């Protein structure tokens, strides 16, 4: 796609939806990502290359959090912001130029994980001389909580997009679909894809285990209407209930997490970040899941009442 056509599309065409965007993304990361997308498109750089660059920047940010040096830690903060800008850029460029790919999805999913693996290791190694084994145990607990928080935030966003844009506009996946894809692959021909699929099907299973009421509602919904014929009124009703919960979803993604992380590292107390994940973000997670399950129960009863 030539540069003029890309610029005519505008920034809104590069977003998944206005419903799911966080305010700091709208005022900073998305405008910056859009400018980078235009720049990289002019150079002929592909989205996957940008994702790889974001992984490098994020891992380097983690390395910078190891020394007890204000200026090196500050450099780490800058690199982490830069990495997240590129993480926005790759998706925006892919949507603008229709360059979505399975490899891109794999890389994009791995990017944030690799950033935080590096960050966790840096903090743990930095604090081991004074904390000993306890910082490893705290980091392991925080990492487990982080995985659950991020997984459910991602799940609820994609559910909202499903009811907003339909199946084609969402990345909402089910465990049964992913298990079926996994069984169709062979280790000989599709080794790396099958390995990714093994992790991903476990990821989707974990999401579904934490949302039993939604699973009941969604199963009934597909039985009655299928994926592509859900009435607009029903979709709008679910979105109306889901939209207020997105602020909690956004709290469990990157921005708030990264803010607390960077402040705690800069002031020389990075352990605060782990405690924040285990306490505050878990409270947000439990509240968000509870409210979403109540919404799903209400929608299930509405669906079964309409059926009668």
Listing DSSP states for 90-145 in one string gives HHHHHHHHT---HHHHHHHHHHHHHHHHHHHHHHHHHHHHHHTHHHHHHHHHHHHH
169's enclosing H/E stretch is: none
Residue 130 exposed, middle or buried by CB count within 10 Å (0-12, 13-18, 19+): exposed
pLDDT at res. 146: 95
Token pair of 137 as six digits: 């145990």
Residue 278 exposed, middle or buried by CB count within 10 Å (0-12, 13-18, 19+): middle
For residue 187, the SS3 value is: coil
Token pair of 195 as six digits: 């390995």
- Rounded (to 5) percent helix, strand, coil in the chain: 85, 0, 15
pLDDT digits 0-9 by tens, 73-86: 999 999 999 999 99
pTM for this one? 0.87
pLDDT at res. 97: 84
Instruction: Determine the average pLDDT of the residues in 171-190.
Output: 86
Indicate if the pLDDT at residue 223 is higher than 70. Answer: yes
pLDDT at res. 17: 76
- Who wins on pLDDT, 81 or 1? 81
Name the residue ranges covered by the structural domains of the chain: 1-130, 132-308
Indicate if the pLDDT at residue 278 is higher than 70. Answer: yes
Fold of 1-130: 1.20.120
Exposure string of 115-128, with b = 16+ CB inside 10 Å and e = fewer, is bbebbbbbbbebbe
Pairwise CA distance, residues 65 & 71, whole Å: 10
């Amino acid at each position: 796609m030539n540069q003029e056509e890309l610029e005519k599309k505008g920034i809104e065409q590069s977003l998944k939806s206005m419903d799911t965007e966080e305010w700091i993304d709208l005022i900073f990361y998305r405008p910056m990502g859009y400018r980078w997308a235009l720049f990289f498109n002019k150079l002929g750089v592909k989205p996957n290359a940008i994702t790889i660059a974001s992984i490098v920047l994020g891992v380097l940010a983690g390395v910078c959090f190891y020394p007890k040096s204000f200026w090196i830690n500050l450099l780490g903060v800058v690199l982490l912001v830069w990495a997240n800008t590129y993480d926005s850029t790759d998706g925006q460029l892919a949507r603008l130029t229709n360059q979505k790919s399975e490899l891109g999805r794999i890389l994009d999913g791995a990017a944030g994980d690799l950033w935080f693996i590096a960050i966790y290791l840096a903090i743990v190694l930095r604090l081991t001389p004074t904390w000993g084994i306890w910082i490893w145990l705290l980091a392991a607990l925080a990492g487990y909580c982080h995985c659950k928080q991020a997984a459910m935030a991602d799940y609820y966003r994609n559910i909202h997009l499903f009811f907003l844009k339909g199946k084609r506009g969402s990345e909402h996946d089910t465990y049964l679909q992913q298990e079926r894809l996994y069984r169709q692959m062979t280790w000989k021909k599709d080794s790396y894809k099958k390995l990714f699929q093994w992790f991903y099907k476990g990821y989707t299973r974990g999401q579904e285990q934490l949302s039993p009421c939604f699973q009941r509602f969604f199963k009934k919904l597909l039985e009655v209407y299928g994926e592509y014929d859900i009435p607009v009124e029903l979709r709008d009703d679910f979105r109306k209930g889901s939209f207020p919960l997105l602020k909690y979803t956004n709290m469990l993604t990157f921005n708030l997490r990264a803010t607390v992380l960077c402040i705690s590292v800069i002031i020389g107390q990075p352990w605060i970040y782990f405690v924040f994940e285990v306490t505050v973000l878990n409270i947000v997670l439990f509240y968000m899941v509870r409210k979403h399950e109540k919404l799903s129960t209400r929608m299930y009863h509405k669906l079964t009442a309409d059926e009668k």
